[in-house]
Amino acid sequence: MVFSNNDEGLINKKLPKELLLRIFSFLDIVTLCRCAQISKAWNILALDGSNWQRIDLFNFQTDVEGRVVENISKRCGGFLRKLSLRGCIGVGDSSLKTFAQNCRNIEHLNLNGCTKITDSTCYSLSRFCSKLKHLDLTSCVSITNSSLKGISEGCRNLEYLNLSWCDQITKDGIEALVRGCRGLKALLLRGCTQLEDEALKHIQNYCHELVSLNLQSCSRITDEGVVQICRGCHRLQALCLSGCSNLTDASLTALALNCPRLQILEAARCSHLTDAGFTLLARNCHDLEKMDLEECILITDSTLIQLSVHCPKLQALSCEAHQHKPHWPPEPGDAKVSSSNSCKNQESVPL
């Protein structure tokens, strides 16, 4: 799109600056950059910090280096509310320190796959970004318990934290985190293989607002830990226990008796769970919408019957031997998993 000087001047005369800024606020960063090349007037409007409140650089991840983040932070300043650097492996601690200093109103930060960052980044966020509500540190493998201590001291408004595959995290880090971030609603701990039941005890003691918890592949977790979570987190709606192979029906009983709002349960590869546990769960958790029971080899058609009778909202049920695992938790806009209310290759097993 190209304007002559007269055309461009006419548009600026007909539309006040406030309205043009409002129009530009709906554009993505690529379109904004193109508009900035139209004229000097549009360059000023398109690059106004108020138009850069939400930035997602995932599509440019291979080209994003630290200086890009620093330049964005200087331009956006306090306007920036949401930034995704997912997959931007070239971004490190130094750039994110500059970012934190300039963008103190950031609320939503995605650092998924930023493998260069260390505890230093979390210290910077703790010091400068007190309004942070949503933080994704998936696969930031250098993160340790020190990061969680820092976050708990400076980011007390945190509601969502994803620590998946941060395998240096232990119960001490979880304890430090939840003491300061008591408003956590979603905590994702996939692949945090050092976590034990005591970590869940700390969550139970402080995170009574918790709605979503992912413990996939936390293989040291036992019934004791799940029971503690259920007793302290009655608002729980989504729970992933897939790969926690030590669990028995005692965990299902605790869920049934304490978490009536449960909507999503993923328990793939929990091979000790039986019809008895799922029967009690179905009779008490009527809001269940999605279940993953793959490789729960002891369940029979009895479980399906109980679910069909007592859980009218159930939309997706998987209990096949092998199937692609859905993304957790579902992101806004994701397509719903298609319903599959049948168990393949299952034989009835007497109780």
- In whole angstroms, how large is the CA radius of gyration of the chain? 24
Stronger pLDDT, 336 or 47, i.e. the higher one? 47
The mean pLDDT of 112-134, rounded to a whole number, is: 98
Residues whose CB is less than 8 angstroms from the CB of residue 95 and which lie 6 or more positions away in sequence, other chains included: 65, 66, 67, 69, 70
**pLDDT tens digits for range 67-112:** 989 988 998 899 999 999 999 999 999 999 999 999 999 999 999 9
Amino acid 58 reads: F
Instruction: Report whether pLDDT(216) > 50.
Output: yes
| Domains along the sequence of the chain with CATH | 1-51 (1.20.1280), 53-318 (3.80.10.10)
Cα separation, 20 vs 11, in Å, equals: 9
DSSP string, 20-55: HHHHHTTS-HHHHHHHTTT-HHHHHHHT-GGG-SEE
Helix (H, G, I), strand (E, B) or coil at 56: strand
What pLDDT is stored for residue 9 in this prediction? 61
Place of tokens 């939309």: 315
Amino acid 232 reads: G
- Residue 59 pLDDT class (50, 70, 90 cuts): confident
- Residue 345 pLDDT class (50, 70, 90 cuts): very low
What pLDDT is stored for residue 329 in this prediction? 54
Amino acid 162 reads: N
In total, the chain counts a number of residues equal to: 351
Cα separation, 301 vs 305, in Å, equals: 6
pTM of the model: 0.84
